[in-house]
Structure 1
Amino acid sequence: FVQDDYPVPTMNNIKVFVLMAGLTGLVMAIGQLLGGGSGAIMGLLMAAAMNLFMYWGSSSMVLRSYGAQVVNAQQAPELYEMVDRLRQRAGLPMPIVAIAPHEQPNAFATGRNPENSVVCVTEGLLRLMSREELEGVIAHELAHIKNRDMLLQTIAATMAGAIGNIAQFAMFFGGGRDDEDHANPLLAILIMIIGPIIAMVIQFAISRQREFKADAVGAEISGKPLALASALGRLEMGARRIPMQVSPNAAPLAIVNPLAAFSLRGVSKWFSTHPPTEERIAALRQIAGAY
């Protein structure tokens, strides 16, 4: 498995640009509603600062959201060695390794590029998975780094939270001006309602196909697609049985939905940022059959 096998997907770079441009436009629009032309300028400056902050600091925010701690080779020798060995197979630089103190088995990758990436696993994952299953999960997360879509996921998660905060800001300070130059509370309420909806749309706009691609590339990195398929089944059961307290904005980064225990099974698939786990397992079994 060599580094040039999977070129950088240009579409992800375009999506990152579109997401940042969308946030800029939204903040400027709210600024215009709140303060006219000067408000729009302030919104533009605010959006620029938020975009820079998200690019450089979003991964740290995600780690804090999961309560994760960075570990080194001395603190977690087996995990560190496994990540190091698999990242060499993938042709990637060594990522930062972190462990989140959650009983639910889960994992995620974050960071703005392969040189500044993080692979994080939960304590429950380390306890419940076999070695081959753990390798499959880590290979999946390395595939996200290989595909360079972890920045897209991280920015989307941070943007969702930012847009929700902007909506609350608009509601608190009042939105727009009516003809008599008084605050328009109805417009503020409208922003409060639409803001979270836009945040949800942005989350859903990040194609769920990235998980299928990461599964396929992860299977090639580990060489054990059935082990990853087995891990996904156990991860899904664990997520439904063991609740995890984590921000909904950071949940899409995980290999399976960490909030599955709080979801309504009948409708959750229509509002999920992850494809159905049974479909992912079926795809991996097809890959295994082609070996």
Structure 2
Amino acid sequence: MGIVLFLLMNIAVMASIYLTIFILEAVFGLRLDQQTISGLLILSFIVGFSGALISLFMSKTMAKMGMGVRVIDEPANPIEGWLVKTVEKLAKEAGIGMPEVGIFDGPPNAFATGWNRNDALVAVSSSMFDLMEKEEIEGVLAHEISHVKNGDMITMTLLQGVLNTFVFFFSRLIAQIIAPKDEEGNVSPMAYMAISFALEIVLTIFATMLAMWFSRYREYRADEGAVKLDGPQGIYYALAKLGQIPKEQVALPANMKAFGIVGFLDLFASHPPIEKRLENIKRYARELGYKI
């Protein structure tokens, strides 16, 4: 299933790129010449934002299929009933539309996704109910609702689109400048592609580091949002419990890591260390007058 989703995503991205270029050229008469700065910049924008926007609009579908999320249309038991009512309460307090609520089988974790704050999906793993008390799960849900309220999915998409655009643009611009040329000043196609590909890899590394820095920043804000919505106790003790579990037992798949409640420190960490998040929660809770 993962391979099928990957192929469908890439087909959709390539189709959107070609369709956009066709419309610009056939309808608006705009010729995208990569040898010009304006043409290269427009092409870079199309390539950079196509994948990011398609990922955003397909995020709920991809999450449901990739994670095996079962959306709760009608609660089948008291736990599902409590889960739906809790999400409904938190969404109302946050001033957003009621998200879809789902459960998936997997390690203790949760995530939120969706293309806008009034059409989101909030899902938790079934194992969360074995690990945590309801108060702690409610804190986790408040964290995910805060992501939705803050528009983090849209902001991450826009940031990724901008970063993709600049990676594509500068890798090819620099390649045009430094690639060897023949006597007539024409760039060697093979050298141009090799140099631009190498530069794209290097620039993507730096772009990913910047995107993950912002992801870590938004996790602090979502934790603070959880404190505002639900108080500090639930999210604090939920994170404390998750921090005691080996990371390989709670990690979500790579394509969902940035949307989970918990992640772990590495060169491209999407989440801050749990210890720092706990310290930030305590600091912020004290500012709001809580004792923790």
Q: TM-score range by the shorter chain?
A: 0.5 to 0.7
Aligned AA (2:181):
D
Q: Is the 8 A contact 1:157 1:250 kept in 2?
A: no
1:206 aligned counterpart, secondary structure = helix
Give the match for residue 74 of structure 2.
73
Give the match for residue 216 of structure 1.
224
Aligned length: 239
| C-alpha spacing 1:35/1:121, structure 2 compared with 1 (3 Å) | same
Picking from 231, 235, 243, the partner of 1:228 is 235
Alignment gaps of 5+ in structure 1: 1-23, 29-33, 261-267
Whether 1:256 and 2:262 are equivalent positions in the alignment is: yes
Give the match for residue 103 of structure 2.
99
Q: Is the 8 A contact 1:232 1:277 kept in 2?
A: yes
Q: Distance in 2 between matches of 1:286 and 1:182?
A: 56
Q: Is the 8 A contact 2:102 2:122 kept in 1?
A: yes
Q: Distance in 1 between matches of 2:152 and 2:128?
A: 23
Give the match for residue 280 of structure 1.
277
Q: Is the 8 A contact 1:69 1:98 kept in 2?
A: yes
The structural deviation recorded for 1:154 is: 5.3
Give the match for residue 9 of structure 2.
none
**Bigger radius of gyration, 1 or 2?**
2
Alignment gaps of 5+ in structure 2: 1-16, 22-32, 183-187
The structural deviation recorded for 1:127 is: 2.4
Q: Is the 8 A contact 2:48 2:162 kept in 1?
A: no
Instruction: Quote the sequence identity (%).
Output: 28
Q: Distance in 2 between matches of 1:147 and 1:194?
A: 31
Instruction: Give the superposed CA RMSD.
Output: 3.5
The structural deviation recorded for 1:243 is: 5.1
1:109 aligned counterpart, secondary structure = strand
The structural deviation recorded for 1:88 is: 2.2
Could you tell me the TM-score, scaled by structure 1's length?
A: 0.67
The structural deviation recorded for 1:240 is: 1.9
1:61-93 CA deviation, whole Å, 9 max, x = no partner? Answer: 344443433222324322112211222232322
The structural deviation recorded for 1:43 is: 5.0
1:33-73 CA deviation, whole Å, 9 max, x = no partner? Answer: x9645777655544454354244223433444434332223
Aligned AA (2:236):
A
The structural deviation recorded for 1:204 is: 2.4
Give the match for residue 179 of structure 1.
181
| C-alpha spacing 1:156/1:42, structure 2 compared with 1 (3 Å) | closer
2:127 aligned counterpart, secondary structure = helix
Q: Distance in 2 between matches of 1:159 and 1:71?
A: 36
